[in-house]
Structure 1
Amino acid sequence: MARLRVAVLMGGRSAEREVSLATGRQVMAALDPEKYEAFWIDPAHLGSASAGAIACGEPVPEDAFKVLPTPVQALLDPEKRPDVVFICLHGRYGEDGTIQGMLELLGIPYVGSGVLGSAVAVNKVVSKCLFAAHGIPTPAWTAVRGRAEADAFLAEWRAGRSHVRVPVIVKPAEEGSTIGVTVVKEEEAMPAALDTALHYGEEVLIEAFLGGATELTVPVLGNEVLETLPIVEIIPQGGFYDYERKYTPGATEEIVPARIPTRHAERARALAMRTHRALHCRGMSRVDMLLANDEIWVLEANTIPGMTPTSLLPRAAQAGGLPFPRLLDRLIKLALEGHSLASAARASAEGPTAP
């Protein structure tokens, strides 16, 4: 049986570049060489891409790059055109529907959510609106867009006319990995928190901070039929679950399955699948939640979860009896299945082809 040709997209230009590279290298090293012929592409610069071929199961060398004119040429090279693309790009230009749209135009199957699901889920403010529409509990929030709205919010805040009360958590609307996030416990810290978040994008989410909550994440797999992997309980050592604690081995304790009552676990799994559907996710997602005040609160869904050695989805899959190489097999199968379903739906909508 011929091996599937897999292009692994990694790196990119977002603030999460280093996490993306770690994810891509982990995926490349774990792909079964008997099943896949893999190469990788790093679309790190406008108008150019780095690409390279390497045997599955081998680490990606730091300097094994060659420059091609565009990422599109790298994908359409007749000697390398992939059967499927494994997207390991996090954040902007990777998780936001941009690369997904390009792959749709090229007719190449890819792992993860489509254009709509990616664009919706990457924006925390749009996600919050959909949570409300679908009855998904989420912490109270407000949002500002741009410097002018931020200044107007601060004026109301200082005058005591804002309904927002500390503690709150201030986040860029379209960044992940806790980049640009600040927990505001004192009113004086709000201006700097907004400045930090605005550095990463024009829209900012200001969300109630539920202190003392149990942090949970629930991975979801599937297209039409969904299943959840074991729930992960997250215990950061010494404080807030920030970038350093997410990606430093030993900085956070992850317990799988989570030590929560059965009724809360059932509620979390149901909400994870509802969130996956509400945000039009496909293939996989990882839904982040809090258990506080005897309720599960949904924060966001990640459509391209990290696949580093410390990442949560691989940990949950392993605990559920799905080792990392088999998880990759499953995700690739879901990508091909999702592409076939979407192609069939488009063909049906377009009607019969004229003779």
Structure 2
Amino acid sequence: MIVSVVYGGTPEERGPSEKNAKDIAEALKTKGYSVHLIQFGKDIILKLREVSTDIVFLCVQGRGYGDGTFQAMLEVEGIPFTGSGMRAASIINDKILCKLLFDRYNINTPKWDILTKEQYKNNSYDYEGLGYPFVAKAPTQGGSFGIELIKSPEDLPLIEKVFAFDSPILLESYIKGHFYTAGIYEGKNGCTSLPVVEGLDLDHPDAASLKEDSLITFTGAYGIKESSLSPELNSQIQQMALQVYKITGAMDLCRVDFMLSQDNTPHVLEINAVPGLKKCSLMPLSAELAGIRYEDMIEDILLSAVKRR
């Protein structure tokens, strides 16, 4: 089987996408697949045809790439690929659309609202009504890009940075607590829920503490810590992740991120349809805790997509 691992994305996400693709390509080679590592470009379909691609392992990220754009191109051309289809990918890559789904299906998520650029420029939005602190997020961005913590009215100018990515943007109540993540992928025996783990920002270890309001980001060195939560709470988080996976129409794999508040209430932050899959990413590290070899997980994801051909 000829597998083309395609990477690329917005300037912010291109580098991480390439790192994911290189580790995935090496894993598939060790499993005996014929692998081509290809950068996304306007001639991507031609490149895929030139190497007689049987299936694409999709690693592209960001708006105009992994947000349903590349998925739609592959669907039109009849080329199989890993991960969610065009419709699901377009929903998952829009945080505002996801929030609407979470509310519709009564999935606990932080209080949120939409802010337009006009409201921001005219200072006509009721920030006090939402409440400080809150987080301003660019709906189509991932990888902790386009996100700012607004602790007080003095921080409102930071919102301008978020509008550089998107408009309108998402405003979300800040949840003081700990960051947890739950990965899901389709394996040989059906849907596999990986262990719930706590994400650690190793560059800013104090960010994960309850001592101060701060954002936990994963743009530098990061790791995980095995969950010390009760079995009941771990199960609740896994079930919530599985529900998010199903209602968004995700396929093959996803990672669902949570904030656990001080009263131990899990709040869904977002779902990632193209999660980081380099060996040191959150989801592979979680799989390692479960005794799942990196190469086996990558092959399982590939074979899940092959079944739909």
TM exceeding 0.5: yes
CA contact (8 A) 1:14 1:92 kept: no
Q: Secondary structure at the match of 1:202?
A: coil
Whole-angstrom distance in 1 between the partners of 2:280 and 2:119: 38
Residue 151 of structure 1 aligns with an amino acid whose one-letter code is K
CA contact (8 A) 2:5 2:58 kept: yes
Q: Secondary structure at the match of 1:286?
A: strand
Given the alignment, which residue of 288, 310, 319 partners 2:280? 310
Whole-angstrom distance in 1 between the partners of 2:67 and 2:160: 23
Given the alignment, which residue of 231, 234, 238 partners 1:265? 234
**1:267 Cα deviation after fit:** 0.5
CA 302–150 in structure 1, closer or farther in 2 if over 3 Å, else same: same
Q: Secondary structure at the match of 2:243?
A: helix
Any unmatched runs of 5+ in structure 2? 208-213
Instruction: Name the residue aligned to 1:322.
Output: 292
Residue 302 of structure 1 aligns with an amino acid whose one-letter code is N
Instruction: Name the residue aligned to 1:182.
Output: 148
Q: Secondary structure at the match of 2:96?
A: helix
Deviations 1:253-301 (A, max 9, x none): 4113x11111110100100000001111011000001111221110100
Whole-angstrom distance in 1 between the partners of 2:215 and 2:26: 28
Whole-angstrom distance in 1 between the partners of 2:69 and 2:239: 29
CA contact (8 A) 1:177 1:242 kept: no
Whole-angstrom distance in 2 between the partners of 1:35 and 1:241: 42
CA 254–121 in structure 1, closer or farther in 2 if over 3 Å, else same: same
- Kindly report which structure 2 residues correspond to 1:74-85, keeping only aligned pairs within 5 A, or say none: 74-77=47-50, 80-85=51-56
Q: Secondary structure at the match of 1:155?
A: coil
Corresponding position: 1:144 with 2:108? no
Given the alignment, which residue of 168, 171, 174 partners 1:206? 171
Instruction: Name the residue aligned to 1:285.
Output: 254
Given the alignment, which residue of 219, 223, 234 partners 2:199? 234
CA contact (8 A) 1:91 1:175 kept: yes
- Kindly report which structure 2 residues correspond to 1:118-129, keeping only aligned pairs within 5 A, or say none: 118-129=89-100
Whole-angstrom distance in 2 between the partners of 1:320 and 1:34: 20
**1:235 Cα deviation after fit:** 3.0
CA contact (8 A) 1:8 1:39 kept: yes
Instruction: Name the residue aligned to 2:245.
Output: 276
CA contact (8 A) 1:8 1:41 kept: yes
What is the root-mean-square deviation of aligned Cα atoms in Å?
1.9
Deviations 1:165-214 (A, max 9, x none): 11001110010011021111111111x22211110122311100011x12
Higher relative contact order (CA 8 A, sep 6+): 2
Any unmatched runs of 5+ in structure 1? 48-69, 341-355
Whole-angstrom distance in 2 between the partners of 1:103 and 1:235: 36
Q: Secondary structure at the match of 1:255?
A: strand
**1:33 Cα deviation after fit:** 4.2
Instruction: Name the residue aligned to 1:61.
Output: none
Instruction: Name the residue aligned to 2:210.
Output: none
Instruction: Name the residue aligned to 2:301.
Output: 331
CA contact (8 A) 2:109 2:268 kept: yes
Question: Where in structure 1 do 4 or more consecutive aligned residues deviate above 3 Å?
Answer: 240-243
Corresponding position: 1:163 with 2:122? no
Corresponding position: 1:72 with 2:60? no
Instruction: Name the residue aligned to 1:346.
Output: none
CA contact (8 A) 2:144 2:219 kept: no
**TM-score of the aligned structures, taking structure 2 as reference length:** 0.91
**1:226 Cα deviation after fit:** 2.6
**1:12 Cα deviation after fit:** 3.1
Instruction: Name the residue aligned to 2:28.
Output: 31
Instruction: Name the residue aligned to 1:133.
Output: 104
Deviations 1:49-96 (A, max 9, x none): xxxxxxxxxxxxxxxxxxxxx11111122xx12111011111122320
**1:106 Cα deviation after fit:** 1.2
Whole-angstrom distance in 2 between the partners of 1:203 and 1:303: 22
Instruction: Name the residue aligned to 2:18.
Output: 21
Whole-angstrom distance in 1 between the partners of 2:108 and 2:274: 23
Deviations 1:296-318 (A, max 9, x none): 11010000001224311111111
Number of matched pairs:
298
CA contact (8 A) 2:119 2:125 kept: no
**TM-score of the aligned structures, taking structure 1 as reference length:** 0.79
Deviations 1:119-174 (A, max 9, x none): 101111000000011110000000124x213334x3233xx7x5111100111001
Instruction: Name the residue aligned to 1:62.
Output: none
CA contact (8 A) 1:120 1:126 kept: yes
Identity of aligned residues (%): 23
Residue 313 of structure 1 aligns with an amino acid whose one-letter code is M
Whole-angstrom distance in 2 between the partners of 1:156 and 1:231: 37
Residue 248 of structure 1 aligns with an amino acid whose one-letter code is G
